[in-house]
Structure 1
């Protein structure tokens, strides 16, 4: 279960205070905010990595750092609050994992020829990577039709959050999160047949 730090700076007002200060150019405030959420990001990344067949070259730390670089590189200015930060982090980690899966599936040199690989990247891992890419494509379609459902799927499927954590992260009622999850699963199941 993803738990936010009990530190006062991570309370909504403290997080927002640090976020506002960082927007005004206070890099120390941004650094302090990142230090305080780093453990939660590591747990989120670890959960995502353990869920999918990700080759060892993309470790938990690598996933967290790639997430940080993408958020700090421009998305940081649009972060509204703590919930939005973790929702964004889940989405960014999904993108990183899917990008990595796509890259891993590409055959280097030789076009569409199949290459024989004797390392850890076996048929099962390849199949999981293909599934991950396919689900990402479906989720992109779902986003176009119902963004709220897509956010819930990201939290549940990609971040491994439960009902209550998803509701908290997205700032919606528990029952709404459950209903969106049920509707989104039905939508996805229909297209995966």
Structure 2
């Protein structure tokens, strides 16, 4: 972000110095997101990172020295970018292809595909029940953060992050299996 007179802000300098350190991790997160997208998607992992980077620059309260925080916020931004992209696509062409993702930590070839929009909606519902639990699930699934990184990011204990992850994942699985029975 340019300050008056064309100078680069301190936040941008901090983020610019952190990006080479976390770029591979952000690329991995973006690649996970994009691997679940339809073929021929107009966004690529690098473009997704670039868009998230631009949005990170507008975050005034973000501590750019905290790697886990930057990755967590970037993952949230990537999720929102893909949601917005999907909403625009669906608005322009109803009945288009859906975005799918895999909730397993180690994707299995036989694992059923889950629609991004379903998980996105369920995370919004979970947030109404337990906002912290929804954040833990979001950071673990979409951010690819470890339990320890998630705990650090949310400033909670590792035990709390583990409990929230276990119960949030179970709630999500229950809701997804319930949705599958109704189809």
Per the normalisation by structure 2, the TM-score is 0.69
CA distance in 1, matches of 2:13, 2:158: 35
> Structure 1 residues 87, 107: CA separation in 2 closer, same or farther (over 3 Å shift)?
same
Residue in structure 2 matched with residue 91 of structure 1 by the alignment: 76
The one of the two structures with greater contact order (alpha-carbon pairs below 8 A, sep at least 6) is 1
Moved more, 91-100 or 24-33: 24-33
CA distance in 2, matches of 1:91, 1:67: 9
DSSP-derived class of the 1:126 partner? coil
* Structure 1 residues 73-152: aligned runs within 5 Å: 74-75=58-59, 77-80=60-63, 82=66, 83-108=68-93, 112=94, 126=98, 128=100, 131-152=115-136
Residue in structure 1 matched with residue 163 of structure 2 by the alignment: 179
> Structure 1 residues 128, 44: CA separation in 2 closer, same or farther (over 3 Å shift)?
closer
CA distance in 2, matches of 1:127, 1:34: 28
Residue in structure 2 matched with residue 39 of structure 1 by the alignment: 24
CA distance in 1, matches of 2:9, 2:128: 35
- 1:41 positional shift: 1.7
CA distance in 2, matches of 1:37, 1:156: 17
Aligned length: 154
> Structure 1 residues 159, 35: CA separation in 2 closer, same or farther (over 3 Å shift)?
same
- 1:165 positional shift: 4.0
Alpha-carbon contact 1:84-1:169 (below 8 Å) kept: yes
CA distance in 2, matches of 1:48, 1:144: 24
Residue in structure 1 matched with residue 111 of structure 2 by the alignment: none
Greater Rg, structure 1 or structure 2?
A: 1
CA RMSD in angstroms comes to 2.8
- 1:164 positional shift: 3.8
CA distance in 1, matches of 2:80, 2:55: 10
CA distance in 2, matches of 1:159, 1:28: 23
DSSP-derived class of the 2:100 partner? helix
* Structure 1 residues 65-76: aligned runs within 5 Å: 65-72=50-57, 74-75=58-59
DSSP-derived class of the 1:38 partner? helix
- 1:94 positional shift: 1.2
CA distance in 1, matches of 2:159, 2:174: 23
Unaligned runs of 5+ in 1: 1-23, 115-120
CA distance in 2, matches of 1:164, 1:155: 11
> Structure 1 residues 128, 105: CA separation in 2 closer, same or farther (over 3 Å shift)?
farther
